[in-house]
Amino acid sequence: MTAPKALTGLKVFAVEDESLVAMQLEDMLYDFGCEVVGVAMRFNRALEMAAALPQIDFAVLDVNIGGDKVYPVAERLRARGVPIVFATGYGRTGVDAEWHGCQIVQKPYTAKELGRHIVAAVSATR
């Protein structure tokens, strides 16, 4: 797959509690030319990182992190103006209606699907 040029050099924060999925997501993001500035696999760590990371150009957030919904993390990112792509096995129905304005990618996703959603999220804020 050809990496979307719009993503080259962008700094991304990822939240994913499944280690194999997190590694695959990181690989996809690196293949897109992104700089992964943080990966959180636990809810509390994700909250801390969402507030502390100095620059985030977009975020990919698993909706369910160890039984906790990721929305408090998303709130922190939204307050910073960070575009969000939610990842869930339940598709749009797995995301609270308040967040339906964000990009939502259904698991399992391909690199092409993920890239398309990220480009749409980033483009919408530029």
- Cβ proximity of 61 and 83 under 8 Å: no
Residue 19 belongs to a domain with what CATH number?
Answer: 3.40.50.2300
Average pLDDT, consecutive stretches of 10 residues, N- to C-terminus, the chain (126 residues): 77 97 97 96 97 96 96 97 96 96 96 95 86
How many structural domains is the chain composed of? 1
pTM reported for the whole predicted model: 0.95
- Cβ proximity of 43 and 70 under 8 Å: yes
Length of the chain: 126
Q: Which two tokens stand for residue 14?
A: 């990822």
Give the structural domain span for 102: 5-124
